[in-house]
Amino acid sequence: MFELIDLLNDWLADNPELRRIFAIWIRAVVLRRSWHAVVLPKIDDLKELKMTLTSRFETWVVRFVHAQSLHDVFES
């Protein structure tokens, strides 16, 4: 996903309005696919979207690993 955002950002370097539209659309898709369980701030730029998603993914990974390790402890 991050590579796609980078490609879009490069391809649309001369069209900030289209970059903004793609950022809004990708955010909407992520929210819909997560059944609105994900909280993402309003975003106006592809770079901002990438930074926000990167931060969120890192948080989700940490939570998942923590939950998995707790699960393993209680299953033992």
Residues 6+ apart with CB under 8 A from 73: none
Whole-number pLDDT of residue 33: 92
Note whether 38 and 55 are within 8 A (CB). Answer: no
| pTM for this predicted structure | 0.75
Whole-number pLDDT of residue 76: 65
Cβ neighbours, 10 Å, residue 30: 16
What are the residue ranges spanned by the domains of the chain? 2-75
Q: How far apart are CA 61 and CA 53, in angstroms?
A: 12
Whole-number pLDDT of residue 46: 96
How many angstroms separate the Cα of 9 from the Cα of each of 14, 22, 23?
9, 9, 10
Per-residue pLDDT of the chain (76 residues; tens, 9 = 90+): 899 999 999 999 999 999 999 999 999 999 999 887 788 999 999 999 999 999 888 888 888 888 888 778 777 6
Q: How far apart are CA 48 and CA 20, in angstroms?
A: 10
